[in-house]
Amino acid sequence: MSRIAVAGCQHETNTFAPLKATLADFEASDAWPGLTEGAAMFDAVRGINLPAAGFIDEARSLGHELVPLIWCSAQPSAHVTRDAFETISARLLALLATAGSLDAVYLDLHGAMVAEHIEDADGELLERVRHLIGPDVRLVASLDFHANVSARMVAHADALVSFRSYPHVDMTETGVRAAALLHDSLRDLGRAKWYQSLPFLMPLTSQCTLIEPLHSVMEHARRLERDPILSLCLTPGFPAADVPECGPAIFGYARERAPLERAALELAEDVLGRESEFALSTVALDSAVRLARDAEVSRGRPLILADTQDNPGAGGNADTTSLLKALLTANVEGVLAGVIWDPDSAARAHAAGQGASVELQLGARSGFPGETPLKARFTVEQLGDGRFVGTGPFYLGGRFELGPMALLRTGQMRIVVASRKQQAADAAMFRHVGVEPSQARVLVLKSSVHFRADFAPLASRIVLVEAPGPNLADTSRLPFTRLPPGKRLKPRN
């Protein structure tokens, strides 16, 4: 039996996004718990598709004693403020310093966190923890599929284990893998490590593991992970981050170095050999609207338009209106859109009451250049308090707290509005306000890929739309300054 301290701090930083993550953002709950310390963190993450939840259950069932420290996350955004990072880091280290004798520390990290004053914030956190626990206590972290893994992170951790799926339906499972790795290989960790970054950025929408090329590549990675290799991971990276480590990486751990090196290089060759298949595949706004207008859609099988550039799961704010306006202007029938972040309109809808008719200036609150609110008269069809539980494979078990919500209708369009921003990746976000997404003719979702976990089975067709928004789909259009020479800004043809 080992004594293992457990902590988590997750942030995916889009350094090009407009709004930073403050301490208040980490303290607030969204689909996931707000900042929680001590034993309460066990209850906070229980039953949710989160790595910490999987780690805790598995480590306990393997008979280990767990010491809870702190868990927090904030929605993807621009940099984590210095205040937020230093406060969370200080709390974590203070709790760790008084945790008593430990055999290991487990951290539930995202791996693409950038603070105002520290580019590699995950590497910094791992280094601070390592400094405190010394070289003999094991340090293992789980990472998101969108981690921008650095040499510093690899240097200070005994093992890093990342998700294998996007949509991330295996977050709990990744925590289980981290616990099993610690349990089975406590003594073997540290014998051989491998880390390499790959030389091109992968657009977010090309990273989906339900479709090619990553579907096959991830299967390949799974096959290569066999004795004496303890763990072999590929992270495609989070491309909207102007940091030297931005992009895909391969890393692994083994009892012997040579087979690990062979397997990692074979996997790298697979990715590089398919580079052109990772090219961006999106549709311009005008074409998407024409498609939506003319599509023959049978009832129960909506056409999905993914408004990827305003995905709040990647630094957007779920409040751009260009796509909505264009669909309204073109009189596209049977549109259901969501989830728009606009606390003011949600409050007005609640004040007006169900069934009322209200004049609203919807969306465009975050100030993205060129975006203006959708001014219209709306019927308030349904209201909600924003508290419900995630039912889809990605947000499974998540106890949502999105504040006052409303289902609004104008013309042929219904729009779901929330007071807190959250990626539209779970049908429960619509059902909460009494609308069944499968019954829409055209479903507009503020999401890039995660929506596929719950919505792809409903869809007659999925179209990734390039409408205005801060989360640029074309990575070569991002104004990078910190990438190392030779890194390609998009896949080579």
Q: Which stretch binds Zn ion (CB under 5 A): 137-145, 147-155, 259-267, 380-388?
A: 137-145
Coil vs helix vs strand at 410: strand
Nearest approach, Cβ of 146 to Zn ion (angstroms)?
Answer: 4
Closest CA to 408 of 348, 484, 368, 454: 348
- Answer yes or no whether residue 164 interacts with Zn ion by CB under 5 A: no
What is residue 77's DSSP assignment?
Answer: B
- CA-angle at 63, arms to 50 and 393, nearest 5°: 20
Instruction: Establish if 144 lies at the interface with Zn ion (CB under 5 A).
Output: yes
Nearer to Zn ion, 146 or 193 (CB): 146
Report in angstroms how near the CB of residue 465 gets to Zn ion at its nearest.
20
Nearer of residues 73 and 382 to Zn ion, judged by Cβ: 73
Of 146 and 177, which CB lies nearer to Zn ion in the complex structure?
Answer: 146
Tell me the closest approach of the beta carbon of residue 76 to Zn ion, in angstroms.
Answer: 8
**Distance between CA atoms of 380 and 397, rounded to whole angstroms?**
28
Could you say which residues in the range 32-71 bind Zn ion, by CB under 5 A?
Answer: none
CB of residue 163 to Zn ion, shortest distance in Å: 7
CB of 144 to Zn ion, least distance (A): 4
Using the rule CB under 5 A, is 452 a contact of Zn ion? no
Binders of Zn ion among residues 414 to 433 (CB under 5 A) are none
Please state the length of the chain.
Answer: 493
* CB closer to Zn ion out of 146 and 446: 146
Closest to Zn ion by CB, 148 or 282: 148
Q: Please say whether the beta carbons of 42 and 8 come within 8 A.
A: no
Residue among 208 and 364 whose Cβ is closer to Zn ion: 208
Q: Which among 327, 343, 346 is positioned nearest to 335, based on CA atoms? A: 327
Contact pattern for Zn ion over residues 168 through 197, marking x by CB under 5 A = ------------------------------
Contact 415/337 with Cβ under 8 angstroms? yes
The three-state secondary structure class of 264 is helix
In the bound state with Zn ion, the residue whose beta carbon lies nearer, of 111 and 384, is 111
Please state whether beta strands 405-410 and 399-401 pair in parallel, antiparallel, or not at all (unpaired).
unpaired
Contact residues for 440 (Cβ-Cβ < 8 A; gap 6+): 302, 334, 335, 336, 414
Q: Hey, is 127 helix, strand or coil?
A: helix
For the window 97-136, what string marks contact with Zn ion as x by the rule CB under 5 A? ----------------------------------------
Contact region for Zn ion (CB under 5 A) — 68-76, 138-146, 179-187, 197-205?
Answer: 138-146
Q: Which residues pair with 66 in a beta bridge?
A: 4
* Residue 171 three-state SS: helix
Size of the site for Zn ion (CB under 5 A): 2
Shortest distance in whole angstroms from residue 31 CB to Zn ion: 13
Q: How many CB atoms lie within 10 A of CB 28?
A: 18
* Minimum separation from the CB atom of position 255 to Zn ion (A): 30
Phi–psi pair at 456, nearest 5 degrees: -60, -40
| Contacting residue, 64, 79, 146, 365, with Zn ion by CB under 5 A | 146
Using CB under 5 A, which of the segments 88-96, 128-136, 141-149, 438-446 binds Zn ion?
Answer: 141-149
Cβ-based nearer residue to Zn ion, 146 or 420: 146
Print burial letters for 333-369: b (CB count within 10 Å at least 16), e (below 16).
bbbbbbbbbbbebbebbbebeeeeebebbbbbbbebe
C-beta of 165 vs 231, nearer to Zn ion: 165
8 Å CB contact between 237 and 201: yes
Q: Which residues bind Zn ion (CB under 5 A)?
A: 144, 146
